[in-house]
């Protein structure tokens, strides 16, 4: 499986990319999208919505199940990837290019390096 080393990973399978100035891009890992299977629906928060670390900010529906996305930070949604609303399969095709939100805030959950995330999955 592919886990880019420039990203950090939550144990709940979201990836986080630091864009600088307290802005973070958030998506789901390759592992998560494979476990979910083909995505058929994505709900996204609205710009300006408040996020709370450890709490759900969105959900995904696949042919197998519905899964929550958990925020790794407390802050505010600054941008949403509206392309996913009409094409959720983009997440399956390219999970690290298909971010869900860009948010401003403070990371308040433990994030793992790619190596540590991979080890966590093997445990």
For the chain, list the domains and their CATH numbers. 8-122 (2.40.50.100)
Structure tokens at 117: 């995330």
One pLDDT digit (tens) per residue for the chain, 123 residues:
789 999 999 999 999 999 999 999 999 999 999 999 999 999 999 999 999 999 999 999 998 889 999 999 999 999 999 999 999 999 999 999 999 999 999 999 999 999 999 999 986
Provide the pLDDT for residue 27.
97
């Amino acid at each position: 499986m592919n886990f880019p080393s420039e990203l950090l990973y939550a144990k709940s399978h979201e990836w986080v990319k630091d864009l600088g100035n307290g802005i973070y891009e958030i998506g789901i890992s390759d592992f998560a999208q494979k476990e979910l299977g083909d995505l058929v629906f994505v709900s996204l928060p609205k710009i300006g919505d408040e996020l709370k670390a450890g709490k759900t900010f969105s959900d995904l529906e696949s042919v197998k199940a519905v899964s929550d996305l958990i925020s790794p930070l407390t802050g505010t949604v600054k941008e949403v990837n509206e392309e996913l609303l009409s094409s959720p399969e983009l997440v399956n095709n390219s999970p690290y290019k298909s971010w869900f939100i860009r948010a401003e805030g403070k990371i308040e959950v433990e994030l793992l390096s790619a190596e540590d995330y991979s080890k966590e999955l093997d445990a």
